[in-house]
Amino acid sequence: MHASLIRRQLGGLVPPKIATPKLVSGGSGAGLGPLVDFYSKLPKGRAVPRMSGIKGRFFNGKNASGIPVVAVIIGIFGISYTLDYNMHLKHHKNNAH
């Protein structure tokens, strides 16, 4: 592998502003203080995925429910009933049963 390819792949592991070559290559390791401080302030443990929108609000977490599904069913029923009723009224406008 080429050195530039390896450098590009490993470049995201250490922030470039904190771990400069001068600090990292200083034999005793005393220059790694800023790097250790940076990584000690990072959150520890598993990352919790954040869900937003309808899926995060109604289907995941402690507020999980089926309200959106019921709302879609009622909405489709309401729209289709309204269209059917209006078409039926148009039918009766010119023709009697």
pLDDT tens figures, 5-52? 777 776 666 655 555 556 555 555 566 777 778 888 888 888 777 777
Q: Where are the domains of the chain?
A: 66-92
- In this prediction the pTM is 0.43
For residue 77, the model assigns a pLDDT of 97
For residue 38, the model assigns a pLDDT of 85
What gap in Å lies between CA 14 and CA 80, rounded to an integer?
Answer: 58
What gap in Å lies between CA 27 and CA 34, rounded to an integer?
Answer: 16
